[in-house]
């Protein structure tokens, strides 16, 4: 089999991490996989650095119909028989391309669904999912339930929970500069794009409550985005500048996680299966996360982490305080989280499940 893994968006986020890591692991396992991505995007550049087989595929949007003819040419010349798409635009345009491709019956179209169903395109997309896509891989049961609710057929859907390179996180050394910040302080981390839906405002307001009982605790906010100035202003307004450290965009996340005592995922949107939660679990950190979307499928409340009410600073503060008051509980949850990540959310497990889907496609 010859696989074209497509992800033609320009951003760098969880879906792009998934695409890159899956390609790397499939290649390592001997699969003939080529990554198709926008040539000036981070994903393409990181694919080059990883030594992956690459094809530049430019798609400006879901309405970039010029890309259809380029796709037909690529599929025909390279003789791909599996096209695995990862975003709306490459799924939609590939579906159209295969309608015009003379030998389309020889090509299987698959999709990994990273986010919930795009309702405003329902009229156009439902036939694509139900009749022109062989299998849609859902990254959580939550995502599968969402697609079912919009009318996607059950026999077209399969759940494969996200996986990460747990071994890489385990062998990564702690970041030196974060070690220096830690000193004798307890560190709480909140890692992710600084935007409203990620809920960092909730984290800051919860942290202000926690400080009243534990004044030596520090909060690290890792990432960048459109809400950075607002969040920095909020910290200043609440007189928290000495206790909250904005680290900006970092490329050594596993090293940062190694220094954390508690990690927060305060999302206020229906997260499908956030890699950041799994990364923190793999690092042995006690996680407090919003009870939304697919997150409860990752964290067993009270056993491998704690779940809080989304958007509720008091709920997050109460859970953080529970961990700060009980060192044994905090360590136990962190250890359980690490074992759960190793057993259920490993990249090897995810890639093996996807290879099994590939090998069971009709010839």
Instruction: Quote the pTM value.
Output: 0.91
Q: In this structure, are 308 and 194 located in the same domain?
A: yes
The helix/strand/coil state of 184 is: coil
What's the pLDDT score for residue 205? 98
The helix/strand/coil state of 268 is: coil
Q: In this structure, are 324 and 351 located in the same domain?
A: no
Q: At what angle do helices 347-359 and 14-28 cross, to 10 degrees?
A: 70
Q: For residues 217 and 344, what is the distance between their CA atoms, to the nearest angstrom? A: 32
What's the pLDDT score for residue 104? 64
Q: In this structure, are 91 and 184 located in the same domain?
A: no
CA distances from 106 to 13, 74, 84, 100, 239 (A): 32, 14, 14, 13, 63
In sign, the C-alpha dihedral spanning 224, 227, 233, 237 is negative
Q: For residues 273 and 161, what is the distance between their CA atoms, to the nearest angstrom? A: 7
Q: How far apart are the first and last CA of the chain?
A: 10
Q: In this structure, are 28 and 174 located in the same domain?
A: no
Alpha helices in the chain (DSSP H): 14-28, 42-49, 66-78, 88-100, 122-127, 141-149, 166-171, 176-182, 200-211, 228-237, 253-257, 275-282, 295-298, 313-324, 327-344, 347-359
| Number of independent structural domains in the chain | 2
Q: What is the DSSP letter of 129?
A: I
CATH classification at residue 195: 3.40.50.2000
* Domain enclosing residue 86, as ranges: 2-163+346-359
Q: In this structure, are 18 and 140 located in the same domain?
A: yes
Q: In this structure, are 11 and 138 located in the same domain?
A: yes
| 352's tokens | 């093996």
Q: In this structure, are 64 and 158 located in the same domain?
A: yes
Q: In this structure, are 173 and 305 located in the same domain?
A: yes
Q: In this structure, are 108 and 241 located in the same domain?
A: no
Question: Could you tell me how many residues make up the chain?
Answer: 363
Q: In this structure, are 324 and 200 located in the same domain?
A: yes
Q: For residues 166 and 280, what is the distance between their CA atoms, to the nearest angstrom? A: 10
Q: For residues 105 and 41, what is the distance between their CA atoms, to the nearest angstrom? A: 31
Average pLDDT, consecutive stretches of 10 residues, N- to C-terminus, the chain (363 residues): 94 90 96 95 95 93 85 91 95 91 83 87 87 96 95 96 91 84 88 94 98 95 95 97 93 91 94 93 96 96 97 98 97 97 96 96 84
Q: In this structure, are 25 and 96 located in the same domain?
A: yes
Q: In this structure, are 195 and 277 located in the same domain?
A: yes
What's the pLDDT score for residue 175? 82
CA distances from 239 to 204, 208, 209 (A): 11, 9, 12
* CB atoms closer than 10 angstroms to residue 127: 11
What's the pLDDT score for residue 120? 75
Q: For residues 15 and 141, what is the distance between their CA atoms, to the nearest angstrom? A: 17
CA distances from 326 to 177, 209, 318, 332, 350 (A): 27, 17, 13, 10, 34
Q: For residues 27 and 19, what is the distance between their CA atoms, to the nearest angstrom? A: 12
């Amino acid at each position: 089999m010859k696989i074209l893994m497509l992800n033609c968006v320009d951003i760098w986020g969880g879906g792009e991490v998934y695409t890159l890591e899956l390609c790397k692991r499939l290649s390592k396992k001997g699969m003939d996989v080529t990554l198709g991505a926008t040539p000036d995007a981070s994903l393409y550049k990181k694919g080059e650095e990883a030594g992956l087989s690459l094809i530049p595929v430019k798609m400006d949007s879901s309405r970039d119909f010029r890309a259809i003819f380029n796709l037909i040419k690529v599929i025909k010349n390279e003789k791909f028989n599996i096209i695995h798409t990862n975003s709306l635009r490459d799924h939609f345009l590939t579906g159209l391309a295969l309608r015009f491709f003379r030998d389309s019956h020889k090509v299987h179209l698959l999709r990994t669904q990273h986010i919930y169903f795009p309702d405003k395109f329902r009229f156009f997309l439902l036939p694509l999912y139900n009749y022109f896509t062989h299998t849609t891989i859902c990254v959580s049961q939550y995502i599968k339930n969402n697609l079912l609710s919009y009318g996607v057929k059950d026999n077209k859907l399969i759940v494969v929970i996200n996986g990460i390179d747990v071994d890489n996180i385990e062998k990564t050394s702690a970041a030196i500069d974060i070690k220096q910040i830690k000193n004798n302080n307890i560190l709480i981390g909140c890692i992710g794009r600084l935007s409203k839906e990620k809920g960092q405002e909730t984290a800051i307001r919860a942290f202000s409550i926690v400080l009243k009982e534990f004044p030596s605790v520090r909060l690290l906010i890792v990432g960048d985005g459109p809400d950075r100035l607002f969040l920095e202003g909020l910290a200043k307004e609440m007189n928290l500048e000495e206790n909250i450290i904005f680290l900006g965009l970092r490329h050594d996340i596993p090293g940062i996680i190694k220094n954390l005592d508690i990690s927060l995922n305060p999302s206020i949107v229906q997260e499908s299966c956030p890699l950041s939660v799994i990364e923190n679990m793999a690092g042995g950190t006690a996680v407090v996360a919003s009870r939304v979307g697919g997150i409860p499928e990752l964290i067993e409340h009270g056993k491998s982490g704690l779940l809080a009410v989304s958007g509720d600073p008091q709920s997050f503060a109460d859970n953080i305080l529970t961990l700060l008051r009980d060192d044994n509980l905090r360590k136990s949850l962190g250890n359980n989280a690490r074992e759960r990540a190793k057993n259920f959310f490993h990249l090897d497990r995810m890639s093996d499940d996807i290879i099994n889907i590939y090998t069971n496609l009709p010839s």
